[in-house]
Amino acid sequence: MTAAAVNAGAGPLDSLLSAATTHVFDVDHTLTRHSTGRRFAQSGIRRGVFRLHQFLTMPWFYLRYRMGSLRLQDITREIRPITGMARSDLVALAHEAWHDFVQDDLIPGAREHVAACRSRGHRTVLLSTSFDVILEPLARELEVDAVISSELEFTDGHATGWIVGGPCYAEEKSRRLRAYLDREQLVAERSAFYSDSFHDLPTFAMVAHPVPVYPDAVLSVHARREGWPVVRW
Determine phi and psi for 64, rounding to 5 degrees: -65, -35
User: For the segment 42-58, what is each residue's pLDDT rounded down to a tens digit?
Assistant: 999 998 887 655 554 55
Confidence check: pLDDT of 153 > 80: yes
Q: Name the band, by pLDDT with cuts 50, 70 and 90, for residue 180.
A: very high
In this prediction, residue 182 has a pLDDT band, given cuts at 50, 70 and 90, of very high
Confidence class for position 214, pLDDT limits 50, 70, 90: very high
Q: How do residues 85-131 score in pLDDT, each as one tens digit?
A: 999 999 999 999 999 999 999 999 999 999 999 999 999 999 999 99
Residue 95 structural domain: 5-232
Q: Are 144 and 159 in contact (CB under 8 A)?
A: no
Q: Sorting pLDDT into bands at 50, 70 and 90, what band is 24?
A: very high
Among 80-84, 139-143, 222-226, which stretch is predicted with the lowest mean pLDDT? 80-84
CATH number at residue 53: 3.40.50.1000
Above 90 in pLDDT, residue 7? no
pTM: 0.86
**DSSP label of 226:** H
Classify residue 39 by burial, with Cβ atoms within 10 Å: 0-12, 13-18, 19+: buried
Percent of the chain with pLDDT over 70: 83
Residue 232 and residue 9 in contact, taking contact as beta carbons nearer than 8 Å: no
Query: What is the rounded CA–CA span in Å between residue 202 and residue 217?
Result: 17
pLDDT at 60: 41
End-to-end CA distance of the chain: 18
Q: Determine the pLDDT at residue 71.
A: 54
Alpha helix (H) residue ranges in 107-185: 108-119, 132-142, 171-183
Q: Residue 190 gets which letter from DSSP? A: G
Averaged pLDDT score across all residues of the chain: 87
Is the model's pLDDT at 63 over the cut of 50?
no
Other residues' Cβ atoms within 10 Å of the Cβ of residue 78: 11
Pairing status of strand 22-25 against strand 191-195: parallel
Average pLDDT over residues 9-38: 90
Which pLDDT value is given to residue 67?
52
- With vertex at residue 73, the alpha carbon angle to CA 221 and CA 125, rounded to the nearest 5 degrees, is 60
- 23: β partners: 124, 192
Nearest to 144 by CA among 124, 114, 119: 124
Contacts of 126 (CB under 8 A, 6+ apart): 24, 25, 27, 31, 135, 138, 139, 142, 144, 146, 147, 148, 149
Average pLDDT of 65-83?
60
Q: Is the pLDDT of residue 225 over 60?
A: yes
Residue among 103, 109, 106, 104 at smallest CA distance from 233: 109
Where does the pLDDT of residue 66 fall: very low under 50, low under 70, confident under 90, or very high at 90 and above? low
Total of domains in the chain? 1
- Alpha helices (H) along 36-80: 36-46, 58-67
